[in-house]
A and B are shown apart, each in its own frame.
Chain A
Amino acid sequence: MNNHILRISLALLIGIIIPGLAMAAGPDLGQTAKQSTNWVAIAMFGGFVAITLFITKWAASKTRSAADFYTAGGGITGFQNGLAIAGDYMSAASFLGISGLVYVSGFDGLIFSIGWLVGWPVITFLMAERLRNLGKFTFADVASYRFAQTPTRIFAAAGSLVVVAFYMIAQMVGAGQLIKVLFGLEYQFAVMIVGVLMMCYVLFGGMTATTWVQIIKACMLLTGATFMALAVLYQFHFSPEALFTKAVEVHSKHGAIMAPGGLIKDPVSAISVGMALMFGTAGLPHILMRFFTVPSAREARKSVGWATTWIGYFYILTFIIGFGAIVLVSTDPNYLAVKMVDGKQVFDAAGAPLYDGLKGGGNMAAIHLANAVGGNVFLGFISAVAFATILAVVAGLTLSGASAVSHDLYATVFKKGMADSATELRVSKITTICLGIVAVILGIAFEKENVAYMVMLAFAIACSANFPILFMSVLWKDCTTRGAVAGGVVGLVSSVGLTIVSASVWEAVLHNPKGSALFPYSSPALFSMTAAFLTIYLVSKFDNSKQAQLERSLFPAQKVRSETGLGAVKSSGH
């Protein structure tokens, strides 16, 4: 039956791509951002899709139970999981966005990439082994281990879904815009292709297919980025000093690209954004879920070790790529957008054309550099990698959203843990389809909206709602259900509320006058996360109910399991 559905969705996919290409191949007059159809890129991407669908078919034959669907039966090794985590985490935003930021302002890009990395040691030192020892399928398993199931699960599932929703909208809109530029496809078709492919992976191949899509993507991205960085350094005899000297010479800001610029405005924002990135990573449901795919705490630790290594290495590469683009792309008129005023090209006094930024926008620095160092074929490869990157991230998000609904809400809250594996699996597949459709609709609905704040909001919610509950329930013996849920609600409401009244939403999205935002900082994390921890502490302290006493008495046994792995779920190989 699965094969039948697979064939139908493939036909559906082809049905979407072909008219998309036909439209794309026509003359594009209106939008400047849309590029002519890139057939090499499409062929490379087609190759990626063919391989991953083949893997999905193989994974489908291994996905029989709910455990297979959520965690690939727990049979992924630490090294594989490390790559998959890296593939889940290194989004197109971090690849194209950070190299684009380096291209525009140099040093500031480095500050950003450091922020995206420092969450990983925190996960390693405090969470990874305990998560693996206590959990089964979702992070709610861990948070609700000794608590009243219904309230904790409902809250944890809500926290997961809200984070997934914001992260997903940002990814879908980014995907549509990017694919429009890279492949010359229409925005709506691009979003639909992402939606259909992601549904195929998750629906038929569950965690096994998702893991392999993420591993393949991580390998492609790391290989492509390594090649680009080496090609840039080769031109400067592997001397970063020579590269920087040339970059300072040709960049319009000159020496300023070697020093911190306007990214960090005030110390409070700096600390607050830092906290959102550092602790938010430890509260992202799609990342936490990956820890249940390995057979033991030992492998869980190995996976974060590898993931941190790959992600850190990748961020160093993006820095070199950004500087390479300054030197090789900004000096070549082929990659620059002609400056237009009132629809007419502008020339300088000597009659030479003036340029205004990159063709296709600021995020195209790495893409143009690919063309500059490796020609059209490598450009096609990097474009295909960027598309694959989005797919791997959205597949991980969909899977974690589906598991929050089917495992936490349906099987545990609604069926009180009495659901059989087959029914649970069916519910998670239905949820996957619903989430896929919702993601496509939201992606299309938000096309023209400013979604820049959404990823930061997802991190702020993850660090203010999910992380405090997880941290306190595992490590603090006096934490109770009431405390955890109250603190989580405070964290969720305050992080969303403060983001709405901050400049990034109040002024940029709701179009209120500049300077009218009530909350002056770039991220609410410092306040909302502190409020969540304080609430958990105070409410738990004053909670003297029978339930609270029971929960406290269960702590020593939970601690034995979280520290030693005694009684932890073993991998369920066939």
Chain B
Amino acid sequence: MINDVAARVEANPKYHKLVSIRSRYSIIMTICIMVVYYGYILLIAFNKEWLGTKLGEGMTTSVGIPLGVGVIVTTIILTNIYVRRANTEFDELNNQIIKEANQK
């Protein structure tokens, strides 16, 4: 019986819309986090001096520290943005698809 329902889901254009939007979204987000993280790592590997530069005249804090904390904060924010969109917009579409598949 599940297989019948699954077949109806497969036939529903909304399902393909959901899968393509969500897949594209998650791939873009994954690329974002990889660029941020590997960008930071490569910066450390290739330009240690710049990361050690002071933020301003007479200051101690170096450029690398706010950038590093920024990577942590970005990670938290990107994750929560994805969760919010998936749990509202995508889940609503998902529920519609399941409802329609069970109705027919």
**What is the interface residue range for chain B against chain A?**
35 or more
A126, A278, A315: the one contacting B37 at CB < 8 Å is: A278
Also in contact, A270 and B44, with CB within 8 A (given A110-B65, A111-B68): yes
Q: Is the CB of A271 within 8 A of B38?
A: yes
A244, A260, A302: the one contacting B60 at CB < 8 Å is: A244
Distance A561 CA – B97 CA, assembled complex (angstroms): 12
Also in contact, A567 and B6, with CB within 8 A (given A258-B61, A312-B73): yes
Distance A561 CA – B44 CA, assembled complex (angstroms): 42
A267, A308, A316, A565: the one contacting B79 at CB < 8 Å is: A308
Interface residues in B30-76 by Cβ distance below 8 A to A read 30, 33-34, 37-38, 40-42, 44-46, 48-49, 51-52, 54, 59-62, 64-65, 68-69, 71-73, 75-76
Interface residues in B72-104 by Cβ distance below 8 A to A read 72-73, 75-76, 78-80, 82-84, 86-87, 91, 94, 97-98, 101
Closest partner residue, chain B, to A246 (CB atom): B60
**What is the interface residue range for chain A against chain B?**
35 or more
Also in contact, A563 and B22, with CB within 8 A (given A259-B51, A260-B44): yes
Q: Is the CB of A260 within 8 A of B52?
A: yes
Q: Is the CB of B22 within 8 A of A302?
A: no
Main SS at interface, chain B: helix
For B94, the chain A residues whose CB sits under 8 A away are: 563-565
Q: Is the CB of A557 within 8 A of B6?
A: yes
Chain A CB within 10 Å — which of B37, B78, B97, B98 has the most?
A: B37
Interface residues in A225-268 by Cβ distance below 8 A to B read 240-241, 244-245, 248, 255, 258-260, 264, 266-267
- Report A312 CB to chain B, min CB distance, Å: 4
Also in contact, A118 and B3, with CB within 8 A (given A240-B61, A308-B75, A315-B72): no
Q: Is the CB of B86 within 8 A of A566?
A: no
Q: Is the CB of B6 within 8 A of A107?
A: no
Closest partner residue, chain A, to B36 (CB atom): A118
**For the complex, is A551 an interface residue (Cβ under 8 Å from B)?**
no
Q: Is the CB of A259 within 8 A of B9?
A: no
Q: Is the CB of B6 within 8 A of A270?
A: no
- Report A11 CB to chain B, min CB distance, Å: 45
**For the complex, is A513 an interface residue (Cβ under 8 Å from B)?**
no
Q: Is the CB of A260 within 8 A of B48?
A: yes
Distance A316 CA – B83 CA, assembled complex (angstroms): 22
- Report B5 CB to chain A, min CB distance, Å: 6
Q: Is the CB of A566 within 8 A of B6?
A: yes
Distance A107 CA – B71 CA, assembled complex (angstroms): 14
B18, B37, B73, B76: the one contacting A274 at CB < 8 Å is: B37
Q: Is the CB of A259 within 8 A of B64?
A: yes
Q: Is the CB of A566 within 8 A of B60?
A: no
Report A's interface with B, CB cutoff 8 A: 107, 110-111, 113-114, 117-118, 120-122, 124-126, 129, 240-241, 244-245, 248, 255, 258-260, 264, 266-267, 270-271, 274, 278, 298, 301-302, 304-305, 308-309, 312-313, 315-316, 319, 556-557, 559-561, 563-567
Report B's interface with A, CB cutoff 8 A: 2-3, 5-6, 9-10, 15, 18-19, 22, 26-27, 29-30, 33-34, 37-38, 40-42, 44-46, 48-49, 51-52, 54, 59-62, 64-65, 68-69, 71-73, 75-76, 78-80, 82-84, 86-87, 91, 94, 97-98, 101
